[in-house]
Amino acid sequence: MNGNKTYRYYLMAGFIIIFFGTTAGFWVELNNGGHEYSTGRMFGYILFLALTASVWSGTILMLGIIYKEKKWYRLSYLRIFSTVFLANSSLCAAHAALAAIILKKISFFTYPAPTLQVVLVTFPLFVWVSLLATILGFLKEELEFNNTRFEELKFAKMQAEMDALKNQVDPHFIFNSLNALSYLIAESPRHAILYNDNLGKVYEYILNNRNNDLVRLTQEMEFMHNYFFLIKIRFADAVQLNIHILNMKARNCLIPPISLQILVENAIKHNQFNADHPLVINISANDSYVVVKNDVRIKEFEHGSPGTGLMNLNNRYQLITNKQITIEQDPRKFSVKLPLIYQ
């Protein structure tokens, strides 16, 4: 339970214990000698407050044991009622008998209290205390159980969404890579061998970080060097990548794996370029962001973009860090800022 609900629970428990404890002392005293003030009378009331608190605590303890051993939702209402009724009745009877024994040995009030009368007076009151403790205890346990289940389901949902987004990255990358490799095998077998070797290193990084939500920026930079080797084999000097990350504080920060690759691939996918007019992609960083910026030369046959890669990347950031990526575009430049995550 949160702080406010815990506070209200203990406040209500204290009120019930004080109310029924003083009521039990009052009725026993009323039936056994009046209301003359004495030190013994005060101790009599303390005795009933202690016994009432003991009934409450004992009920909560038994509920905890029953709840732990046999979950409420697995039991029928009849079994719940019978189990709680027998346990609480035994507890209340034991405390009523204990009150009678103590009052027989020590007379706190004006006259000795008859044993049977003490039992008949205190037992119903203790039953009420136990009943209220059962209701509040049951609600408390159910609330805690539901809160735990909610957090578990929330985490499972988030993990499932993360896995789905990660799995959308891999097929796209494989498709592009295999298409390029197929072309190189036919056109340049020597380049195809180099391409295949580097493709193995790149995909090893993807597999090793498949279950990682975050990696260091230095790891992602190393991966980008290997990945861009594949790009250079495919496009030669038609694509240029400049990485300028001198900020040591930024280099030790974290970002989602393969996020830079998604942005570089996005730039290559949506822009036209050739050796005379190469596509220049710049990666830089400050204390807050790593920035990927490229020239804008939209392909002539491009009629808008669904932006699936950027949307998936933004969703990953939101799930992991509750932050969003920043996209900036003008007629000449397109840039994406990825928030850096500090440990």
283-336, pLDDT tens digit by residue? 999 989 999 999 998 887 655 555 677 888 888 888 777 788 999 998 899 999
Contact 325, 339 (CB under 8 A): yes
The full set of domain ranges for the chain reads 3-151, 188-339
Q: What are phi and psi of 258, to 5 degrees?
A: 70, 10
Q: What are the E-state strand segments in 141-226?
A: 215-216
Cα distance between residue 218 and residue 224, in whole Å: 10
- Which pLDDT belongs to residue 279? 94
Helices 39-69 & 3-30, crossing angle to 10 degrees?
130
**CA–CA–CA angle 203, 207, 213 (5° rounding):** 120
Span 202-207, average pLDDT: 84
More confident residue, 5 or 93: 93
Please tell me which of 12-16, 75-79, 167-171, 221-225 the model is most confident about, judged by mean pLDDT.
Answer: 221-225
Least confident of 155-159, 198-202, 222-226: 155-159
Confidence of residue 37 (pLDDT cuts 50, 70, 90): very low
Span 236-257, average pLDDT: 89
Name the one residue in this structure whose structure tokens are 């051993």: 69
In angstroms, what CA-CA distances link 194 with 19, 178, 197? Answer: 84, 14, 5
Give the domain 188-339 fold. Answer: Heat Shock Protein 90 (3.30.565)
Please tell me which of 18-22, 47-51, 63-67, 254-258 the model is most confident about, judged by mean pLDDT.
Answer: 254-258
Contacts of 69 (CB under 8 A, 6+ apart): none
The three-state secondary structure class of 283 is strand
Asked whether residue 153 carries a pLDDT value surpassing 80, the answer given is no
- Which pLDDT belongs to residue 76? 57
Cα distance between residue 49 and residue 19, in whole Å: 9
Least confident of 152-156, 179-183, 270-274: 152-156
Least confident of 170-179, 205-214, 231-240, 300-309: 300-309
Asked whether residue 260 carries a pLDDT value surpassing 80, the answer given is yes
Cα distance between residue 68 and residue 253, in whole Å: 43
More confident residue, 330 or 343: 330
Q: What's the token pair of residue 294?
A: 């490229």
Q: For residue 247, count CB atoms less than 10 angstroms from its CB and return exposed for 0-12, middle for 13-18, buried for 19 or more.
A: middle
Integer Rg of the chain from CA: 36
Q: What's the token pair of residue 66?
A: 């029953």
Span 243-266, average pLDDT: 88
In angstroms, what CA-CA distances link 181 with 187, 198, 199, 203, 228? Answer: 10, 11, 9, 14, 15
Cα distance between residue 253 and residue 288, in whole Å: 9
